Amino acid sequence: MSENVTITGVQCRGARAMLGWSRPRLAREAKVAERTVIDFERGARNPQASTLDAIQRALEAGGVRFTNGDEPGVKIVS
């Protein structure tokens, strides 16, 4: 997992799009409820730290890297 990076719903949505993953696929890969992914991506709630970590790890295992700091974002790992 990227060090000291807390992903946002926008980054999650972008990462999913880059990987071509649906919300149900991310939920399966992260072993979380699909409703959790939906609510997180639309900003309705922030998941618990362990859930957010599972989402981030699943996306990173799929091949993306998250960045924060002055320019938060997401990129495909080559």
Q: With bands split at pLDDT 50, 70 and 90, how would you rate the model's confidence at 72?
A: confident
Can you tell me the distance from the alpha carbon of 70 to that of 46, in angstroms, rounded to the nearest whole number?
Answer: 21
pTM for the model stands at: 0.89
Task: State percent of the chain over pLDDT 90.
Answer: 78
Tell me which of 3.40.50.620, 1.25.60.10, 3.40.710.10, 1.10.260.40 is the CATH number of domain 9-76: 1.10.260.40
The burial class, CB within 10 Å (0-12 / 13-18 / 19+), for 69 is exposed
Can you tell me the distance from the alpha carbon of 59 to that of 37, in angstroms, rounded to the nearest whole number?
Answer: 12
Helices (H) and strands (E) in the chain, counts: 4, 2
Q: With bands split at pLDDT 50, 70 and 90, how would you rate the model's confidence at 67?
A: confident
Q: How far is CA 74 from the centre of its chain?
A: 9
- 70 has a pLDDT exceeding 90: no
Residue ranges of domains in the chain: 9-76
Q: What crossing angle do the helices spanning 23-30 and 9-19 adopt, rounded to 10°?
A: 100
